[in-house]
Structure 1
Amino acid sequence: MFTGIFKDTSVRVLIVFMISLCVISSFILPDWMQNNFMYGLSRGLAILGLMLLWRTNLVSFGHALYYGFGAYAVALCQKYFGITDILLRFTIAVVAAGLLGFCLGFILRKYREIFFAMLSLAFSMVLYGLLAKAEFLGSTDGMSISPSTLFGLELTRQYLFFLITFFVICAAVSIQAYLRSTLGHLTTAIQDNEIRVEFLGFSVQKAIHIKYVISACLAGGAGGLMAASLGQVDPDSMVNWNVSGELVFITIMSGWGNILAPFIGAIIFEFIRTYAFEWAPQAWAAIVGGTLLAIIFFFPGGIWSIIEKVFNYGKKKDVK
């Protein structure tokens, strides 16, 4: 599956972009911009997971379930086991969300369209209600996350950013390798005609289940990295329905033509929200919504379609 993966144009562009981002944000740009890049890359993992589902005509309105579950898994492991190592935190978040996604996948893989979307939202709101009422988890106030370490050494913000970038590169390269595989090519086939895929001898439900678990793992990893970046987890910022809405918003805004698109879209969203808060704190939501409407009207393929037109970057080359 990984054979020749580093010869893939999308992977090369991704790696160059991420390394350039690290260098520019660390040595040229101010700290607050580096924080925005960090948050954007972390959230971009969840968008990458949604993009994977989107390619199968599945829209999840409840992906904050895994985003928040991964974040709270990090918080609980710190509280009860004292785990602060960033490698363990990321692994715990991914595994915890993946296990939850595996269990719920048996239910969700049977549904399509609005039923899939609303059922995923319902599961997310169940978790939100439990977390908001659980006093040992801080209720609506949430829990604090101590600074991350690596092999016992406390990480500065800059080194945390480097490691988050490394995790993002590994995850995105793995997804590209998956999309190049036989199972990955089923994504387009399922989108076109599920019945024909069944006649070819593949199980559509199993294929969707696998994609759903991968998507849950990515969202959980995103939540774990965001918790480590923010130093705080709470139900409203991690699990609430508006978080799921933001993830879907960014997915639409980004486009799904390339593995780099979710991260570019997530970073742009962070800056739009930051400047909207600064310039119009009472109307920031209207500015963000207006941005989405403009992109839908003028660039239905999202931000990535703009990049394709400007750089003549062919979509067919990206998904081979």
Structure 2
Amino acid sequence: MRTELALVAAALAVAAAGWLSPDWLSFLLTLAFAKALVVVGVVVQMRVGLVTFGQALFYCVGGYAAGLGAQYLGIRDAFALLAIGAGVAVLVAGVCGLLLARYRDIFFAMLTMALSMILFGVLVKSSALGSTDGFNVSTPTYFGWEPSPEAAKRGVFLLTVAVSGAAAVIFHRLMNSGLGLVTEAIRENEIRVEYLGVSPRAVIYANYLAAAAVSALGGGLTALATGHIDPDMAFWTTSGEFVFIAILGGTGHVAAAFVAAIVFAAVRTFAIQEAPHTWQLTLGVVLLVLIIFLPKGLWSLVSRKKHGATHAADNNPAASPAVTPEATA
């Protein structure tokens, strides 16, 4: 419960800071948090021992579902558009997961990337959906309230932080629940888990559905924030970016995805500003250094500090309660 309260408090602090920040900074945080939701989906699957190179599939499905709902169905409510995106993503994952739950290791990774590239190819060839240019997404409303053009970006920012905070709490509980612990057991030894009467395939399938839903939320929020969607949302390099951020943050805690997404966005923005012609090289060098010195991700700094404090307390007799003869009697 304390961790969940800390996550909510962090979300409120970010919302307050973003509201008082310049527009460019709040927009940067909006995109970072939206991508962090997709990274959470990647981390959930990494905890079960699977690396996906196709999470952009659901990122794109969420964005296009929100855009199509606004353009063709006349739905402009942000919450309804996000719900549509998540629902469509779960339906797609329900079909794809029947195949993917049977595979492991590199086969799972390549199949997920192949499915994402199939969607990319379909969208590129669909002139009705704007082909390679995509199409614009109208400004959303919130339960009937339509913000002014000046307040629209702030509204999406607050919505993104709220959804991210709720998702962080939900997935923190999921990772520490019985299902979350089973996923780690499957990663270590799938056969023993099956002998215990638990179906690894069913757990992986459920994990895949949860990852699809949260990734679609990230895609929908990105579409609402940028006001535009295009097939590049499903391209394999987009999935690679999500995997990179997941490795950068680590899998130790759900908050690691959000911290890593913010660091990645900040480093990339700084690199583009200072070295516009070689920003990829600058970004790669900085992030490579981080990964070399922090192989378990940025969150290892937090876990290392906690472990050090616990170890110091165990080795300090004054910090431990005294044991008296009366207490042992």
Tell me the TM-score range normalised by the shorter chain. over 0.9
* Structure 1 vs Structure 2 CA RMSD: 1.5
* CA offset digits 1:53-109 (Å, max 9, x no partner): 000110000111110011011111111111111100111111111111111000001
**Equivalent pairs: percent with the same residue?**
38
Match of 1:166 in 2: 162
Picking from 3, 11, 14, the partner of 1:10 is: 3
By how many angstroms is 1:224 displaced? 0.4
Letter in 1 for 2:231: P
**Is 1:307–1:313's contact at 8 Å kept on the other side of the alignment?**
no
Residue type of the partner of 1:294? V
Deviates more, 1:302-311 or 1:129-138: 302-311
TM-score, normalised by the number of residues in structure 1: 0.92
Task: Name 1:34's counterpart in structure 2.
Answer: 26
Aligned partners of 1:171 and 1:204: how far apart in 2? Answer: 24
CA distance in 2, matches of 1:33, 1:103: 39
Summarize the Cα distance change of 1:249–1:89 in structure 2 as closer, same or farther, 3 Å threshold.
same
1:267 maps to what in 2? 262
Matched, 1:291 2:286: yes
Q: Partner letter of residue 278 of structure 1?
A: Q
Aligned to 1:198: 194
Q: In structure 2, what is the equivalent of residue 58 of structure 1?
A: 50
Q: 1:177 aligns with which of 164, 173, 176?
A: 173
* Separation (CA, whole Å) in 2 of partners of 1:271 and 1:20: 18
Q: Superposed, which structure 2 residues align to 1:300-315 within 5 Å?
A: 300-310=295-305
Aligned to 2:110: 118
1:94 touches 1:221 (CA, 8 Å); kept in 2? yes
Give distance in 1, aligned partners of 2:197 and 2:182: 12
Match of 2:242 in 1: 247
Q: Which runs of 5+ in 2 are unaligned?
A: 311-329
CA contact (8 A) 1:108 1:116 kept: yes
Give CA-to-partner distance per residue, 1:110-162, whole Å, 9 cap, x none.
Answer: 11111100110000100000001100000000010111111222232222211
Matches within 5 A, 1:71-150: 71-150=63-142
Quote the offset at 1:174 in angstroms.
1.2
Deviation at 1:168, TM superposition (A): 1.1
- The match for 2:184 among 166, 181, 188 is 188
Match of 1:279 in 2: 274
Structure 1 residue 180: deviation in Å? Answer: 2.6
What is the CA deviation profile of residues 202-259 of structure 1, one whole-angstrom value per residue up to 9, with x for unaligned ones? 00000000001100111111100110011000012x1111101110111111111111
Rg bigger for which structure?
Answer: 2
Counterpart amino acid of 1:281?
Answer: P
Instruction: Answer whether contact 1:86 1:150 (CA < 8 A) is retained.
Output: yes
- The 8 Å contact of residues 51 and 256 in structure 1, kept in 2 or not, is answered as yes
Normalized against structure 2, the TM-score is what? 0.90
Aligned residue-pair number: 306
| Contact in 2 for aligned 1:67/1:239 (Cα 8 Å) | yes
Are the aligned partners of 1:10 and 1:260 in contact in 2 as well (CA < 8 Å)? Answer: no
1:22 equivalent to 2:15? Answer yes
Tell me if structure 2 keeps the 8 A contact 1:145–1:231: yes
> Structure 1 residues 24 and 143 mapped into 2: Cα distance closer, same or farther (>3 Å)?
same
Amino acid paired to 2:245: I
Question: Partners of 1:86 and 1:159 in 2: how far apart?
Answer: 10
**Residue identity opposite 1:21 in structure 2:** V
1:230 aligns to what? Answer: 226
Secondary structure at 2:248's aligned position in 1? helix
Q: Please tell me the residue identity of whatever aligns with 2:290.
A: I
CA distance in 2, matches of 1:10, 1:131: 41
SS in 1 for 2:69: helix
Greater shift after overlay, 284-293 or 205-214?
284-293
Q: SS at 1:150's partner residue?
A: coil
User: For the Cα contact (< 8 Å) 2:267–2:283, is it kept in 1?
Assistant: yes
> Could you tell me how far apart the structure 1 residues matched to 2:308 and 2:138 are?
42
